[in-house]
Structure 1
Amino acid sequence: MTKIISIVTPVHGPGVRFITDAYRSIDAQELPDGWSWEWCVQEDGDGVDAAVQLPSDDPRILVGSSRQGGPHVARTMAFARSTGQYVKSLDADDRLAPGVLARDIAVLTSRADVGWTTSRVLDLMEDGTTRAFEGDPEAGLLPRGSSYAFWEQHRRPQIHPATLCVRRPLLALLGGWMALPASGDTGLLLGLDALSHGWFSDEIGLLYRKHADQITTHPAHSAGSEWEARMSLIQEHAVALRAWSGIRNASDAPDLLQNH
């Protein structure tokens, strides 16, 4: 029986122009024997028309639509339609790097103690040049709690949450992405970090496109009352999960992460 890795992608009006590049980056992936991918594209609101930008003869592409709720609500709705035992995040304006899905699968199938993976990122500038994401950790195991420790000190994640690949039961336990106008993926990362070890690959896993229409360019993204509220809730969420997971025996973690 074929095993599935699900890629979940929210898309709104301005981002749909890049979605064919995202598809090409997925279609070029080489997976281990016995594996295939499905791509759950979620239109965030009416009038996005993502399907017309994508091949109509590829049954692995599953386009859905929901009321406008922002990228993290749409991403969670895509997760709700997915079937894979591992779930990979990809924004509509970004591109997967060659080999990343195979690397994610290799880690999660070989390490029962690891619940999620991330990868090195290059920013893709509008002129086609790339820039490195500064401050990556060492490759390998990310011990449970280490991502929160960095975030608490710097108020930003050390690893890029846009590269997350997560075991399905763990993602379901957290309810998907936090329903915030931005930073919902950071909230998910810190939730995952509270419950499980992660893994960082220093091979490039994502080209993160920089452009004028992305939500990170909004003035409220990194300052002001909205930012303060988002950061406060993300911290409260992470602290509560850390307290809850602290009463569990560490030996229970592999059972929590298995797919049933």
Structure 2
Amino acid sequence: MPAFRAAGARGATGDGGRRHRGRDGGGGRGGRVRTRFCRRSGGRAMSGETSAAPAVSVLMTVHNAGRFLAPAVRSVLAQTRTDFELLVLDNASTDGAVPAWVGAGLDPRVSLERAEQNLGIAAGTNRLAARARGRFVAVLDHDDELAPEKLARQVAWLEAQPAAAGVAARTHLIDAEGRKLGGDFTLPNAAEYRAFTAYSQAANFGSHLFRREWFARFPRREAFPFSSDFDFVARVAEAAEIGVIPEVLFRYRVHGAQTTQRRRPAQIADEVLIRILTARRRAGAAEPMAELPGWRERLAAAEPGRIWLRAARLCRELGLPELAAYHARRAAGAGYPVRAQAAALGALRDPRAARLFFTGPLRTHGLHPWPPR
């Protein structure tokens, strides 16, 4: 493995060059190493971090990224807007992908640190956000890719819209080999974006660019280990506008090893709890954080359809008829139509909840995905 320099380390490789995806814990437990890469560019040696603050900080937490890490990093380095920094947290990876990537040669805009243990996505992102120097921040999963003009287009949009907290874009879905699978839907304006966050993310999280201060105001919450991004955008959308650029600027990779596939039941439970908290906040009530462990236990099941059935019953008990109808609709689509109607029976007396159950949230709320159908 090629040698590399680690700032603040006594040896050439410090602690061995760790990887990303972890939470920090903040106390320096296990130590950390910040690595700065060098390469030769334009006939002169480049090393260390640039003194001027970049416009954008791209945050990437990595845990056993394998072969997908290299194309993800290349997509950042290929940006048409070049005043960025790429902050990578190696979250106690064991697959050797990060050292192999180091050997490919990177530039001084890339900074790598390693966590002793896997901190999780939420805490890992918070750790990197605290180091970010850019006015704007993007978060990139280690298996996804940016379109070359993403940062340029979104920085220009945010500079022209000073009141906006962030901006999203359209997404292409790709497979493990990078082949296009289709398009993800994106709601076309800030009002529709906010409305849909009552149910789910209105655009893929990696398609966004945010102003840095929102990461300080709403840190990713570790209570939602698999859906802290959804929780983040729901809270930000309540406080400020999140705009949408109707162009494909992001590529989301679908493959069997991704967290969305491997931890689907846990992710669904996270999403249910986030919807409940969001409904409470938007009704002017306090967030019942102390109730989350008990609710999570009630939702526990191995099959998505069963989780949605239990969510429908829970939301009905909590006096949230629209969420009861939403989860019952999901359960019906997963093969439980009769039980879903029974689970939402009381809630369906509410006309809006009944419409949501039978037509879905887009039609119920008059929302229009892009492009219009």
TM interval, shorter chain, is 0.7 to 0.9
**Match for residue 321 of structure 2?**
none
Contact 1:122–1:130 (8 Å) recurs in 2:
yes
Q: Please report how far the alpha carbon of residue 114 of structure 1 lies from its aligned counterpart in structure 2 after TM superposition.
A: 1.2
Q: 1:84 aligns with which of 134, 138, 153?
A: 134
Is 1:198–2:242 an aligned residue pair?
Answer: yes
In structure 2, relative to structure 1, the CA distance for the partners of 1:169 and 1:190 (3 Å cut) is: same
Ranges of 4+ aligned residues in structure 1 off by more than 4 Å: 233-243
User: Identity of aligned pairs, percent?
Assistant: 21
Residue 185 (1) aligns with residue 220 (2): no
| Equivalent position of 1:156 in the other structure | 200
1:192 deviation in Å? Answer: 1.3
Does the CA contact (< 8 Å) of 1:10 and 1:72 recur in 2? no
| Other-structure match for 2:323 | none
Look up the match of 1:208. Answer: 252
Rg (Cα) greater in structure: 2
Q: CA separation in 1, counterparts of 2:75 and 2:193?
A: 28
Contact conserved, 1:195 with 1:241, CA < 8 A, in 2? no
In the alignment, what sits opposite 1:75? 125
Displacement of 1:215 after TM fit? 0.7
User: Which of 49, 52, 61 is the matching residue for 2:110?
Assistant: 61
Deviation for aligned residue 1:27: 1.3
Does the C-alpha gap of structure 1 residues 171 and 240 become closer, same or farther in structure 2, counting only changes over 3 Å?
Answer: farther
Residue 122 to residue 203, structure 1, CA distance change in 2 (3 Å): same
Identify the residue that residue 173 of structure 1 maps to in structure 2: 217
Q: Contact 2:53–2:133 (CA<8 Å) still a contact in 1?
A: no
- The alignment partner of 1:114 has SS state of coil
Q: TM (normalized to structure 2)? A: 0.56
CA 1:60–1:131: 2 relative to 1, 3 Å: same
For 1:199, give the aligned amino acid: G
Note closer, same or farther for the CA distance 1:107–1:192 as it changes in structure 2 (3 Å cut): same
Q: Which has the higher contact order (CA 8 A, sep 6+)?
A: 1
After superposition, the Cα gap between the structure-2 partners of 1:163 and 1:4, relative to the gap in structure 1 and judged at 3 Å, is same
Residue of structure 2 equivalent to 1:12: 63
5+ residue gaps, structure 1, are 244-260
Superposed CA deviations along residues 106-128 of structure 1, whole A, max 9, x for unmatched, are 01112111110111001111354
Aligned AA for 1:92? H
Deviations 1:118-169 (A, max 9, x none): 110011113543133443222xx514xx4342132xx222211222211111
CA-based RMSD: 2.6
Residues in 1 aligned to 2:221 and 2:177: alpha-carbon distance in whole angstroms: 32
Tell whether the 8 Å contact from 1:120 to 1:204 is kept in structure 2 after alignment.
yes
Q: Which of 208, 219, 228 matches 2:264? A: 219
- CA–CA distance in structure 2, aligned partners of residues 69 and 59 of structure 1: 25
1:30 is matched with which residue? 80
Unaligned 5+ segments in structure 2 are 1-51, 288-373
Task: Choose from 190, 209, 230 the match for 1:142.
Answer: 190
Q: Is the 8 A contact 2:72 2:142 kept in 1?
A: yes
In structure 2, C-alpha distance between the alignment counterparts of 1:17 and 1:230, rounded to whole Å: 32
User: Judging changes above 3 Å, is the alpha-carbon distance between structure 1 residues 52 and 120 closer, same or farther for their aligned structure 2 residues?
Assistant: same
The count of corresponding residues between Structure 1 and Structure 2 is: 231
* 2:218 and 2:235 in contact (8 A); partners too: yes
